[in-house]
Structure formats: structure tokens, C-alpha cells
Amino acid sequence: MISVITGVLLITAAVVNLIAAIGILRFPDLYTRMHAASKAGTLGAGLMLVTIAIHSGEIEIASRALAGAAFFLLTAPISAHLLARAAYVAGIEPWEGTKVDHLKGHYTDKQGHLSSDDEKS
Amino acid sequence: MSNLFLINVLMAVAWCAVLGSFTLMNLLFGFAVSSGALWLTREQYRTSKYFHRFWLVLGLVLLFLKELVLSVVRVAWLVIRPSRSLNPSFVSFPLTVTKAHEITLLANLITLTPGTLSVDVSDDNKTLYIHCIDVDDVDALRRDIAEGFERKIMEALR
């Protein structure tokens, strides 16, 4: 029974990670690619760690695997935020299909100081 | 409120010390026993708010896990569907939460939920800028966040 559950979880995790990889190739610019990398990547890696925890059946291994999954959930959004922010401050243009850009003109200098919405308009 | 959580953890550690074995199961069981003890004294020491908050935090965690799975399904569909029409946008979101840890939590939750990724917070902590991968109605998106995660965070952490 446990091997069936771990098998299903592992295949799901692998498919999710595959979709994340395809998304990084298919999406048009850095900002949309970060969506694929941050969400699907986190869930895929997290599912694999949970699978390890279930499969091992030992507290020492399970606690470490679950701690790893928790840190994935904590750190993936931060790296996504930093990459997207750094790209925008460095002047990487969003894809031409971008509809609304409320961020435009709010970075006041190259150090990345950001003004609030009501300050400007 | 965080004091009660600390007391709860310390009582769990004391439970392990008395038993003489620090395994994860003993620690968890000690935590359960000590929260039971705190629950018994809820009349005398007014700990019922702590337990109320415990359920609110648990609800936030479950909401987050649900949204994470939904977000992966949605991104997966955007990835594998044949057409490539996307409507990405940078959207500004006026923040109601004010404290740094609440903004951090909200930004992290937004990143891991359907189609949204927090890019930056303005220097005066009033506006959060979000990148959305596929959005039709900006106002509906703002309303979803304000009435979903932001309200839940304020309920659970205040």
C-alpha cells in the first residue's frame, strides 16, 4: 500500500517538475517564467520530499525531509521576488504583450527605491 | 499570545526531559498534553483566545495548501495548452496590513497562489506590486486578495 502511494506521489511530482521546465522554455519573458519556476517547482520538490518522508517511515529521515519541504515553501517566493525585482530595476523590458504596467515609472532610481501608488499620481 | 505558545513549547520540552528521551513523537505528544493543560486552565488564565487563534492559523495553512495546488494546476494548463495568448500585467495592490511580518507573509502567499507573483513593496510599505500571468479584471484580482488572504492574515495574527 505504501509503495503505491509513494509511487503515485513521485510520478505526480515528476510531472509537475516537467511542466515547470516546459513552462520556463515556453513563456515569453523572465517575469512569466518565474511563475512556472516558483509555483510548480516548489510543489514538485515539496511533493518529492513528502514522498521521502512517507517512504522512509523513520522519524529522523521524515523530520528532515519535512523541514526541507517547509524551507522550500519559505524560500522559493523570496528568490522569485528578488529575481523579478532585480530584473525590473536592471531595466529588463517585460514582454510586449503585457497589458497593464502599474510599476512603470515608480522606481525612482537605480538603487531600486520604489514609490507608492498614491505618491505619484 | 506568543507567550502562551512559548510556555506550551517549554512544557513539551519539560515533558521530554522527564521522560528522558527527546524523540519527535515524545515532543509532539508533550505538546499535545501541555496544550491540554493550558486548555483546562482557560477560565483562570484566559487562554481561550490562544486556542481560537490556533484554529485560525490552521485554517490559513489549509487555505494556502489548497491555493498552491490550484495555482499549479492553472500554471500547468497555461504551459501545456497549444495557444500562446497571455495577458500578463504588473498590478499595484494597496496594502491594508501594516506590520513587516504581515506584509512578508502576504507577499509569500501571493507568490505561491494562482497566477500572481509579488515583485516589490514600496518604500513606505503602502503598495505591493504584483505580476500577474493572465489577468482580465484588475479590480476583481485586488478584491480577491483583499477579501481572501489579507483578511485571513489579519484574523489569524491580530
**Residue A120, pLDDT score:** 45
Please give the Cα distance from B22 to B111 (Å, whole number). Answer: 36
> Are A100 and B89 within 8 A, CB to CB?
yes
DSSP summary character for residue A107: B
> Are B23 and A114 within 8 A, CB to CB?
no
**Residue B132, pLDDT score:** 81
DSSP string, B144-156: HHIIIIIHHHHHH
Q: What mean pLDDT, rounded, does chain B reach?
A: 78
**Residue A119: CA count within 13 A, CB half-sphere:** 15
Q: Does the predicted interface ipTM exceed a cut of 0.85?
A: no
**Residue A97, pLDDT score:** 67
Cα nearest neighbour of B129 on chain A: A103
What number is the average pLDDT over the span B140-153?
78
In this predicted structure, the answer to whether residue B50 has a pLDDT above a threshold of 70 is: yes
List the 73-112 stretch of A: residues with Cβ below 8 A of B: 73-74, 76-78, 80-81, 84-85, 88, 94-95, 97-104, 106, 112
> Are A74 and B108 within 8 A, CB to CB?
yes
> Are B90 and A34 within 8 A, CB to CB?
no
Closest among B82, B68, B60 to A16, alpha carbons compared: B68
Rg, chain A, Cα only: 19
Q: Is A27 on the interface with B (CB under 8 A)?
A: yes
CA angle at B85 for the pair B82 and B91, rounded to the nearest 5° = 135
> Which range among A60-74, B30-44, B52-66, B76-90 shows the weakest confidence by mean pLDDT?
B76-90
| pTM for the model | 0.70
Please give the Cα distance from A76 to B155 (Å, whole number). Answer: 25
> Are A39 and B122 within 8 A, CB to CB?
no
What b/e string do you get for A35-57 counting C-beta neighbours within 10 Å, with b at 16 or more?
A: bbbbbbbbbbbbbbbbbbbebee
* A88 burial type by CB count under 10 A (0-12 exposed, 13-18 middle, 19+ buried): buried
Closest Cα in chain B, distance from residue A18 (Å): 10
